Amino acid sequence: MNPFRFRGGLSLVVCTTLVAAPVWAQGVTEAKQGKGGSVVKGDYNKVVGVVRNDPSLRRKVGTLKQEAAAGGAKKAGAVFAEGDVLMPKIANVKLLAEPSDTAKALATLGRADELVVIGADKDGYINVQGATASGWVKIVLMQKR
């Protein structure tokens, strides 16, 4: 990787950050063309201005401490609504009496078994109704039909 060289022996390795890339690229182009583009100070100020003026790039809370107190970011994953028809991703998924790893297994599901979501999710489990029983299954083991 070849860094760009500027006045005073300062060098810059190409920046690939989505927000900063267009601004840095403009400064690099100006500097390479001898137009006096200052990638170090002037363009840094442009990047800061862009970030500060774009609400989608701002944090949703004032400080990291406040964000941690608010519970942080939500986990990504499958979202199922009531009435969705689900199927296990693998065979031998346990249908449990409670939303817990230690709960009693009511049934063992095969890959072709269909379940209907009948309630909300809780602690990584979803409440479902099958052909012979209702209970809880791990969300990560289920997929929409």
Q: What is the pLDDT of residues 32-87, one digit of tens each?
A: 555 555 556 677 888 888 878 887 777 666 677 777 777 655 566 678 999 999 99
Digit-coded pLDDT (tens) for 25-35: 555 555 555 55
Domain around 10: 4-69
Number of neighbouring beta carbons within 10 Å of residue 119? 13
Q: Please, which pLDDT band fits residue 115 given cuts at 50, 70 and 90?
A: very high
Domain at 91, CATH number: 2.30.30.40
Domain count, the chain: 2
For residues 65 and 20, membership in a common domain is answered with: yes
Q: Are residues 106 and 55 in the same domain?
A: no
52 and 104 inside one domain: no
The pTM is what?
0.50
Is 114's pLDDT higher than 50?
A: yes
Radius of gyration of the chain (CA): 26
Write out pLDDT tens, residues 133-143: 999 999 999 99
In a domain, 65, yes or no: yes
Least confident of 13-17, 61-65, 121-125, 130-134: 13-17
State the average pLDDT over residues 95-117. Answer: 95
Q: Please indicate, yes or no, whether residues 111 and 136 belong to a single structural domain of this protein.
A: yes
Q: What per-residue confidence (pLDDT) applies to 46?
A: 83
pLDDT (0 to 100) of residue 110: 94
